[in-house]
């Protein structure tokens, strides 16, 4: 039953990837900045929670500390960096380079404080397993699925049912109109950066709880999540989450027919071809 195991494994990983994709989708759809430092915020959440745990906080409180710190960091990045750049009429290329600079600062700061070694949370309950649908899953993996689904539902509720979420979608769909209709896009940008950054702390903790903490660990996962966001259709939270699941499942199931060294290459190859036929993503009109 190799295929079933790979499928379940892919779905679990897809939930982790999906959380990163949903958080990035909220930010990217609203601001349209290539916020590559999102990978560093993801790393920050993991390391802050690790420290909180080592200082004796219970697990839930450590996660909460991470979420709050990430949210504040996100708001600060928007207010102090991107907003200033935007006010000066910086192009997306300039914002991208500034964001890269910020990633270098944050990731190397983490490496200087915590070393580059792979750190572990050291929570034995995380590795205990249960049989579900013919596959053995660890508690961490089950938590990932639960949080993944909750994050997706939470983001959908936020975007479609709250006032702030509606303002966010209005700003995303027409920034010029938003400016003149007193929707205060700059405030919306800060709020969205805070929410997206707080959300990315959850996979930022759960993935390293499973696989170990590394200062540069957020980069590969953000790369794949970005592809999910774009291929899903910018602005579509469902698109981002579904595509993350599809990519993770495809990468797992591709092992049935080809050696693993090609699975990443093939995924991106398919993506490039897909973009040629659906240049605006899957979930857009």
For residues 41-100, which are near other proteins according to CB under 8 A? 81, 84-85, 88, 90-98, 100
* CA dist 230 → 22, 112, 275 (Å): 11, 34, 9
The nearer residue to other proteins, 101 or 133, going by C-beta atoms, is 101
146-175 residues near other proteins, rule: CB under 8 A: none
The nearer residue to other proteins, 9 or 49, going by C-beta atoms, is 9
Establish if 234 lies at the interface with other proteins (CB under 8 A): yes
The nearer residue to other proteins, 181 or 284, going by C-beta atoms, is 284
Nearest distance from C-beta of residue 224 to other proteins, angstroms: 9
The nearer residue to other proteins, 156 or 274, going by C-beta atoms, is 274
The nearer residue to other proteins, 116 or 174, going by C-beta atoms, is 116
Q: How many CB atoms lie within 10 A of CB 218?
A: 30
112-151 residues near other proteins, rule: CB under 8 A: 112, 115-118, 120, 127, 129, 136, 138
Q: Which of 123, 132, 174, 268 touches other proteins (CB under 8 A)?
A: 268
The nearer residue to other proteins, 45 or 210, going by C-beta atoms, is 210
The nearer residue to other proteins, 175 or 271, going by C-beta atoms, is 271
Q: Which of 156, 246, 264, 282 touches other proteins (CB under 8 A)?
A: 264
* Residue indicated by tokens 């036929």: 277
Q: Which of 61, 72, 105, 150 touches other proteins (CB under 8 A)?
A: 105
198: Cβ–Cβ under 8 A, 6 or more apart, which residues?
67, 68, 70, 71, 74
Q: How many residues bind other proteins (CB under 8 A)?
A: 72
Stretch of residues binding other proteins (CB under 8 A), selected from 51-59, 64-72, 179-187, 226-234: 226-234
């Amino acid at each position: 039953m190799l295929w079933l195991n790979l499928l379940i494994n892919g779905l679990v990983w897809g939930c982790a990837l999906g959380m990163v994709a949903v958080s990035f989708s909220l930010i990217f759809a609203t601001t349209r900045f290539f916020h590559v430092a999102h990978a560093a915020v993801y790393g920050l959440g993991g390391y802050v929670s690790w420290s909180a745990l080592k200082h004796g906080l219970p697990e839930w409180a450590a996660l909460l500390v991470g979420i709050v710190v990430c949210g504040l960091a996100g708001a600060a990045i928007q207010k102090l960096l991107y907003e200033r750049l935007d006010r000066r009429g910086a192009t997306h290329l300039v914002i991208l380079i500034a964001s890269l600079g910020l990633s270098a600062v944050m990731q190397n700061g983490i490496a200087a404080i915590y070393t580059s070694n792979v750190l572990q949370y050291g929570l034995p309950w995380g590795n205990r397993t249960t049989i579900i649908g013919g596959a053995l899953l660890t508690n961490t993996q089950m938590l990932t699925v639960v949080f993944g689904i909750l994050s997706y539902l939470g983001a959908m509720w936020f975007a479609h049912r709250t006032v702030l979420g509606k303002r966010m979608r209005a700003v995303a769909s027409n920034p010029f109109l938003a400016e003149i209709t007193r929707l205060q896009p700059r405030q919306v940008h800060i709020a969205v950066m805070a929410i997206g950054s707080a959300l990315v702390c959850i996979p930022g903790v759960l993935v390293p709880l499973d696989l170990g903490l590394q200062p540069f660990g957020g980069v590969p996962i953000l790369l794949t999540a970005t592809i999910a966001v774009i291929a899903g259709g910018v602005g579509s939270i469902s698109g981002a989450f579904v595509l993350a699941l599809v990519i993770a499942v495809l990468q797992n199931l591709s092992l049935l027919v080809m050696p693993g060294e090609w699975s990443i290459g093939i995924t991106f190859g398919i993506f490039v071809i897909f973009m040629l036929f659906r240049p605006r993503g899957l979930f857009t009109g």
